[in-house]
Amino acid sequence: MRSLITTVVRMLPAPDETLLAQARTATPSREEHSRFMDRIAALGAVECQPPQQPRSWPGYLRVAAFNAERLKDRAAARALLDHAGAHVALLSELDVGMARSGNVHTLRELIDGTGVGHLYGVEFVELGLGDAAEMRELAGARNVCGLHGNAIVSGLALAEPCLIPLEESGFWFPGREGAQKRVGGRMALAARVIDAPHPLWVVSVHLESKTDAADRQAQMQTLLRALDQLAPNAACIIGGDFNTKSLPTGENERDLLLEVPERDEPLFADLRSAGFNWAQANVAAPTQRTGPGNKPMPPFGKLDWIVVRGMRAENPIVLPALDGQGKPISDHEMVAVDLFF
- Taking only the tens place, the pLDDT of each residue in 303-326 is 999 999 999 999 999 999 999 999
- Number of helices and strands in the chain (H, E): 8, 14
Q: For residue 3, is it within any domain?
A: no
CA angle, 82 as apex, 81 and 84 as ends, to 5°?
A: 60
Left, alpha or beta for 292 (phi > 0: left; psi -120 to 50: alpha)? Answer: alpha
- Indicate whether 1 belongs to any domain: no
- The pLDDT assigned to 296 comes to 97
- For the chain, what is the domain count? 1
Interval 273-281 mean pLDDT? 98
pLDDT, residue 89, reads 99
CA 37, CA 298: separation in Å to the nearest integer?
37
Q: CA dihedral in degrees (174, 180, 181, 186; nearest 10)? A: -90
Distances (CA, A) of 214 to 44, 88, 219, 256, 266: 27, 30, 9, 19, 7
In this prediction, residues 206-220 reach a mean pLDDT of 98
For residue 144, the model assigns a pLDDT of 98
Whole-number Å distance between alpha carbons of 142 and 329: 23
- Identify whether 2 is part of a domain: no
Mean of pLDDT values over 112-125: 99
What backbone torsions phi and psi does residue 67 show, to the nearest 5 degrees? -85, 110
User: Is 160 among the domain residues?
Assistant: yes
Give the tens place of pLDDT for each residue, 150-171. Answer: 999 999 999 999 999 999 999 9
How many beta carbons lie within 10 A of that of residue 27, not counting itself? Answer: 9
At residue 298, what is the residue type? P
**Spatial distance between the Cα atoms of 228 and 238, rounded to a whole number of angstroms:** 14
CATH code, domain with 24: 3.60.10.10
328: helix, strand or coil? strand
Could you give the C-alpha distances from 263 to 208, 268, 269, 283, in angstroms and in order?
19, 9, 9, 18
**273 assigned to some structural domain:** yes
- Taken in order 74, 75, 79, 85, is the CA torsion positive or negative? positive
Identify whether the C-beta of residue 181 lies closer than 8 Å to the C-beta of residue 127: yes
Domain range for 272 is: 8-340
> Residue type at 253?
E
Per-residue pLDDT, averaged over 38-63, amounts to: 98
pLDDT value of residue 103: 99
Mean pLDDT of all residues in 170-194: 97
- Please indicate, yes or no, if residue 174 is contained in any of the structural domains: yes
For residue 255, what pLDDT is reported? 86
pTM for this structure? 0.98
